[in-house]
Amino acid sequence: MSAIRFSYAEVTSISRLGFWLQFGAEELYLSFVEFPIFEYATVSQITEVVCISSGRVYWPDIDFDLALDTIRNPLTRDYHRASYDC
């Protein structure tokens, strides 16, 4: 029998410069300089994050999603409005 695994995403800390996102066992930092869409978002908007696939997270309150690879390497800038792949 194979196990079903569900990933989760959670914002663990917010500062005036950015925030930390826990995705499974990995913790990623998103600075407001590299991801300016979050700079004027409310705490509620930032903390409402959903895992939409094994490699993407989505913020429904601002209708914005990001690939984890983009968070890891912000210069690639491969982010879109919601594009579900599951």
Looking at residue 6, its pLDDT comes to: 54
19, part of any domain: yes
43, part of any domain: yes
Query: Which residues touch 22 (CB under 8 Å, ≥6 apart)?
Result: 8, 9, 10, 11, 12
Predicted TM-score of the model (pTM): 0.78
What are the backbone angles phi and psi of residue 59, rounded to the nearest 5°? -110, 100
What is the domain extent for residue 58? 9-79
41, part of any domain: yes
Task: Decide if 39 contacts 27 (C-beta within 8 A).
Answer: no
pLDDT (average), residues 72-79:
72
- pLDDT tens-digit series, residues 20-71: 999 988 999 999 999 999 999 999 999 999 999 889 999 999 999 999 999 9
Looking at residue 82, its pLDDT comes to: 46
> Tell me, what amino acid is at 63?
D
65, part of any domain: yes
84, part of any domain: no
Whole-number Å distance between alpha carbons of 66 and 50:
11
